Structure 1
Amino acid sequence: MFSTMMASLRPSPIQEMAELSRRAVAAGQDVVDMTLGEPDFPTPPHVGEAAVKAIADGQTRYTPINGTVRLREAIVEKFRRENGIHTTPGEISVGCGGKQVIYQAMLATLNPGDEVLIPAPYWASYGDIVTMHGGVLKPIRTSPAQGYAMQPEELEAAITARTKWLILNSPSNPSGTAYTRAQMEAFCAVLRRSPNQSFFILADDIYEHIVFDGAVFSTLANIAPDLKDRILTVNGVSKAYAMTGWRVGFACGPKPLIEAMTKIQMQVNSHTSSVSQAAAVAALEGPQDEVRRRCAAFQARRDLLLERFAHIEGLRTPRPEGAFYLFPDVRVFIGRSRADGGRIANDVDFAAYLLQHGVAVVPGSGFGMPGFMRLSYATSEDKLESAAARIKAAIERLQ
């Protein structure tokens, strides 16, 4: 009845745990939900006002497939102002969130057996999008000792004649790893000397405005303009501006790739909401001080959790440089026994155990790293304090 592709398509591990959390709450349990990567801040008021004005002005008709001219011009200026990337409206794609943009890029380029390189841990959707289109996901496993950062020699060893894409998400979901300019330059050196000069590089910069400790965000298309005709730079308004529900993602890249992605979108959903596009213009062109304030709040939350976790024996938590996730190593707890005599067999069991103690997290196996877990700290400090205390108490009960 269904296509063969459906047999390999997994439910999102993030959404699975979020649903288990919702069920626990509905059953009367007090749960701190740390599953979803969604800022708890409201959309900035001037963005909502722009949407209301767009409706009043009648901006409720079809728009061009790849976004209104007004929005694409705002995106071009954003890339120039913030990233030092010089592009044109014809090299811009706008979709219903960054996920759709990535989906269309893979659908436009992947043939069965094409390999997609990605440092692990990685956002779960990358893997499913790749395999849906016949691609072969080729993870490059990293380690907590290196802060989950891929090394240049590991990248070089992974490239083959079948490589079609390299995906680089910085700051990363789920690890928070943010590559420095020097690290990016080392990757670019590998790309330049590789015998395979035909594969694309996807730079997923969706968390670019959430970097900590005074770090300066870097992106590949700025560092290596000579590679620009192979780089698709993906971004959006969801994370920085707390606009997850507005569904606006965008990318700049080589015009032939953008045109192919636009042809696909023409048959998928035509375009994202005209009202959302007007709101995105206001976000990109409006005041940015609230974005910086929220970044500082995320850093404070990271520091709070790191301090609390430092007092939990056995819990190893590398210090992330950006985004709003922690990715602790919980392998030391695998194999231990619960108070009821049951055994923690894997990270899925460990996440289920924590949910029983009032904290919802996502198992690391969903991100290509079994034995770890992802926690989103996009919630209040009071809830984070409660979550840390519950995790500590739960771990101390293990034998």
Structure 2
Amino acid sequence: MERESSVDITGMGIVTSIGQGVTAFKEALFSGKTQFDDLKRPGREGAKPFIGAEIPEIDVRSLLPEYSSLLRTASWSGQIATLAVSEAWQDAQLVNGNVNPERIGLVVGGSNVQQRHQQEIWQRYQSRPQFLRPTYGLTVWDTDIMGLLSQCFHVQGEGYSVGGASASGAVAIIHAARQILMGITDVSIAVGSLFDLSGYECHGLTNLGAMGSERFADRPDLACRPFDQDHDGFIYGEGCGVLVLERSDHAQQRGAVSYGKLMGWGFNLDGNRSPEPSQKGEERAMNTALAMAELKPEEISYLNTHGTSSPLGDKTEVAALKSVGLNHCLVNSTKSLTGHCLTAAGVVEAIATLLQMNHSFCHPTHNLVNPIDYTLSWVKETAIQAEIKYAISNSFAFGGINTALLIGKS
């Protein structure tokens, strides 16, 4: 439904293990490409290897020579965020300076995202801390990546970082939309930043029972299997996603292409510190998004699940979407291909939703052989053609956070 003030999505940028750039990512989604293996990046060592999906080595400074001096001391998370924002910035046609920088906002989703970078510095300087680089003092703040991006792209409107654990990307999108709807900005950039796990986080999340066990240690490609009866916990994936949100009339005035509209969202807490999900909280998020968009459940044709491969999480989400009345929707899990991108997941999966919507397909769900529920319209191990007018993308998180984004086709 068109509103007096609505929010369009006019730019996208992405870097994941299965594709750098929107075009490569779209092709990887359609083909069902995966990149699961033992984690090999320095600082992720354990007694035994952890399984995950890492981005192939990229020399970001050579790709973005104009920012080379700033990127010299930036973390891996900061470098990848700069690369993804650069793509979205160009995609949204912001390079020609036709938008007042004081009317451009920036919201970076994620907290404590530079853990591996900090661990490496501690180890390098533990015997000589007096020689610690001064820039280390910047990396301890969640605003470090925001500051880097604002300097690179001369963003001078409202900006901040938001922490919502695995829902951080979706929370960033919601806050960016609020900036626009409140009249604070004309354009707002939402970043789902790369959560750079160190070996300590890998051990902690495994001990918590959240991260996949050693069950598929000899076959990493089989480990990530959302909604399959053999699911065994989430599998980490490196990734960063960026969306440029813009007031609809502003986008039209400057001739920007719209990939879709953010029509509504739900965002709530279920009063819970532990990692256990809440069916009622998830239902409330989806129902709130539907109410905000003034749509009925039967009008939604596709649902991009949170779908982490966690047995309890998958079971709870299935129950929630059935209770909301979304049984008829085509359903898949982007995490089955990318791994769980944690703080970036909400934006990565919103981009996946937009690409499927604009190119009339639904991507496969890797390793979905024996679904935990046979009554839903799963997109299993092969992509299918699909016309998607309205879609919901879910992101849930530790701390009892539940979000749902409702996206409409332009």
TM-score (norm 1): 0.28
TM-score (norm 2): 0.28
- Which of the pair is proportionally richer in strand? 2
- Which of the pair is proportionally richer in helix? 1
